[in-house]
Copies of this chain bind each other. A is one copy, B any other.
Amino acid sequence: MKHLRILLSLPVLFLVATLRSYASEATGIGNLSAILEVQQYNRAIHIMAMLLVGFGFLMVFVKKYGRSALTATFLLVSVTLPIYYLVSDSGMLGHQKSPIENLILAEFAAASLLIAAGAILGRIKMYQYIVLALLFVPFYIFNEWIILDDGMGIMIGNFADTGGSIIIHSFGALFGISAAISLTTKEEFKTNIEADATSDRYSMLGSMVLWVFWPSFCAALVPVEAIPATVVNVFLALCGSTVITYILSTSIRGKINIADIANAALAGGVAIGATCDHATPLTAIIIGVLAGAISTIGFSILQSKQQKFHKIIDTCGVSNLHGLPGLFGGLMAIPVVDGLNIGSQLFGIAITVVIAVVSGLISGKIISLFGHRKEAYNDVEEFEDVEEEIATLKKVA
């Protein structure tokens, strides 16, 4: 067969070129690879829905802070996308990528940033979110460059993290918690961030949008042949974490907690990221169930025991949803991914943890220079009220 291929190769290659040129003219397709890039673009749109509608509405639960959470989401995404895109498009971070690949990588950066912001939500002013974004993006790019592009030549082998369990979820969570620690004084730990009693359906909307589009997040840059299996794995992992969240939330607390459902149900998506294109359906379900269990235990037990570290410095509980399930997912690559270099995987995780914590601590200190305070912010400090606005209009009229 091999000899035959060599024999055929020259005339056939010529024929392929001629045929493709004719096929292009006949069908108007131009370049078949453009079809693949448009398919990637569909996934990019799905990820964008996760970033704005998903993360935005999941964070709406803070009392008197709904508008702020949504506006902050809008700003964090709008600052991150152009910066990351222009840097990546310049080619300075390694090999040149296609426009849609750059866009998807920029969205990944924005996702990680939104996770980080979840840890300090409700404690900073609106312009401080922009400062947060400007500090976060270079550190995120630096870590990504070291791990995925072998930036400093210190990675010793491949790193399994297709859907970003480590470099997106864990990085964002650890950065955010570290920033919260150096942003908040001990005294401030005493004041709780309260939840809005009527926001449950908005939070569930955000959660469901994240759930629905999560497969496109994990499969965004996966080769076309591997997408079907990847997609199925992600959905099965999410199903696993959703069912176990209901069971454990009810068992531990006695009653269902809607915040557990809205958050821990997503832990399967976080954890399957590292192995989404390698797991079998059954493994995916198991990873989802375990991640959901870790997350629910985090929200229902750790959170109320270790008040100092949860929901006080970590408003959205990102350590329970993204931090622990992300690390768990990254470690699960060791048994699941064939031929993985264990040392390389552990080394990559360790580097990410160190960079996230150090850069988070530094960033928190810098943000605190712009002011910080004890109580949670109330929307009306920064936003015009509708009544106020109407009054102004009437006075003018």
Contacts and interface: CB of A to CB of B under 8 A. Distances in A.
Interface residues of A, number: 122
A265 to B, nearest CB: 6
Interface stretch (A9-17, A170-178, A316-324): A9-17
A98 B228 contact: yes
9 closest A-B pairs by beta carbon, nearest first, are: A78-B242, A78-B239, A52-B208, A99-B228, A197-B386, A70-B204, A34-B224, A255-B384, A48-B212
24 contacts: A12-B18, A15-B19, A16-B19, A16-B23, A20-B23, A30-B225, A45-B46, A45-B215, A67-B256, A74-B211, A78-B238, A78-B239, A78-B243, A86-B282, A98-B228, A99-B229, A103-B232, A126-B250, A196-B386, A256-B383, A257-B383, A257-B384, A259-B389, A304-B396
B236 A81 contact: yes
A200 interface: yes
Nearest to A20: B23
A246 interface: yes
Contacts of A336: none
* Chain A binding surface SS class: helix
Contacts of A16: 19, 22-23, 26
Contacts of A209: 49, 53
A204 B56 contact: yes
Interface string A88-115: 0100000000111011000000000000
B34 A225 contact: yes
B387 A197 contact: yes
A35 B224 contact: yes
Given A41-B231, A74-B265, 8 more contacts: A16-B26, A29-B36, A71-B256, A79-B239, A82-B240, A85-B232, A85-B236, A126-B256
Contacts of A232: 85, 99-100, 102-103
A111 to B, nearest CB: 14
